């Protein structure tokens, strides 16, 4: 679930969304995530669940990148952009978690499953579906990575004010995130960061695997 009232509805337009992200430092954020967290190589096979405009694909190396999202304008924008950059190595399509045909369109071998800014838009039931999909995709050798706003004690007041006005209505605490993720993964780490954007903001960076 998400709020799309008032000015938020304009973020459904891909160019507006990307411009808004760049204005708050999303380019720098993506570079840092790529270098410090994702750390993919030209041999890495990636699935991006709820990829949006697939901006992260501009900053990471991959052998294949498969992203899907339920928002048609986002999918169109991402498909056009990545067709020029990555050619046949990138596939973007319209889809949503829970679609019976989804698995048929995803690769059989996945090194990294991403959910970038997605979980805080999903209630626990929908998040469980998405995380179960991610867990099944990465098998015993892959990694799951997510990146979302979070609510933590002592965070800057401006950050909390911005986060509580986010379109996503399911921003979680560290504890709530861990409980959710441990239902699907054997190893889970949740790191708190306050410095990924050029404005005060708190993010939860999750890395998880299926190893015990």
Residue-wise pLDDT tens digits, 154-210: 999 999 999 998 888 999 999 999 999 999 999 999 999 999 988 899 999 999 999
Q: How many CB atoms neighbour CB 183 within 10 A?
A: 13
DSSP state of 107: -
134, 58, 120, 32 alpha-carbon torsion, rounded to 10°? 100
**Any idea which residue has 């009232």 for tokens?**
5
d(CA 38, CA 55): 14
Give the model's confidence band at 15: pLDDT under 50 very low, under 70 low, under 90 confident, else very high: low
Give the pLDDT score at 6: 36
Predicted confidence (pLDDT) per residue in 78-109, tens digit = 999 999 888 789 999 999 999 999 999 999 99
Give the pLDDT score at 25: 56
- Neighbouring-strand partners of residue 150: 172
What are the residue boundaries of the structural domains of the chain, listed by start? 6-209
What's domain 6-209's superfamily in CATH? Vaccinia Virus protein VP39 (3.40.50.150)
Instruction: Collect all residues with Cβ–Cβ distance below 8 Å to 117 and sequence separation of at least 6.
Output: 50, 52, 147, 148, 149, 168
Please report the beta strands in the chain, taking only residues with DSSP state E, as ranges in sequence order. 45-49, 64-69, 90-94, 112-116, 143-151, 172-173, 187-193, 203-209
The region that residue 152 occupies, defined by phi over 0 for left and psi between -120 and 50 for alpha, beta otherwise, is beta
Asked if 162 and 199 touch (Cβ cutoff 8 Å), the reply is yes
pTM of the entire predicted model: 0.88
d(CA 184, CA 168): 22
Give the pLDDT score at 21: 62
Instruction: Collect all residues with Cβ–Cβ distance below 8 Å to 39 and sequence separation of at least 6.
Output: none
């Amino acid at each position: 679930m998400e709020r799309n009232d008032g000015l938020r509805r304009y973020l459904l337009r891909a160019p507006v969304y990307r411009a808004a992200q760049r204005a708050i430092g999303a380019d720098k954020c993506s570079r840092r995530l790529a270098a410090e967290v994702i750390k993919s190589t030209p041999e890495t096979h990636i699935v991006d669940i709820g990829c949006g405009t697939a901006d992260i694909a501009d900053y990471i190396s991959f052998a294949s990148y498969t992203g899907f999202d339920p928002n048609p304008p986002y999918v169109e924008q991402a498909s056009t952009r990545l067709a020029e950059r990555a050619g046949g190595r990138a596939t973007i399509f319209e889809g949503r978690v829970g679609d019976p045909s989804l698995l048929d369109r995803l690769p059989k071998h996945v090194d990294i499953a991403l959910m970038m800014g997605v979980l805080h838009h999903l209630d626990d039931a929908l998040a469980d579906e998405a995380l179960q999909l991610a867990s099944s995709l990465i098998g015993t050798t892959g990694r799951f990575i997510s990146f979302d706003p979070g609510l933590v004690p002592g965070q800057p007041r401006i950050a909390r004010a911005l986060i509580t006005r986010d379109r996503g209505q399911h921003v979680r605490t560290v504890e709530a995130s861990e409980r959710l993720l441990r239902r699907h993964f054997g190893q889970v780490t949740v790191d708190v960061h306050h410095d990924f954007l050029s404005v005060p903001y708190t993010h939860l960076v999750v890395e998880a695997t299926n190893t015990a």
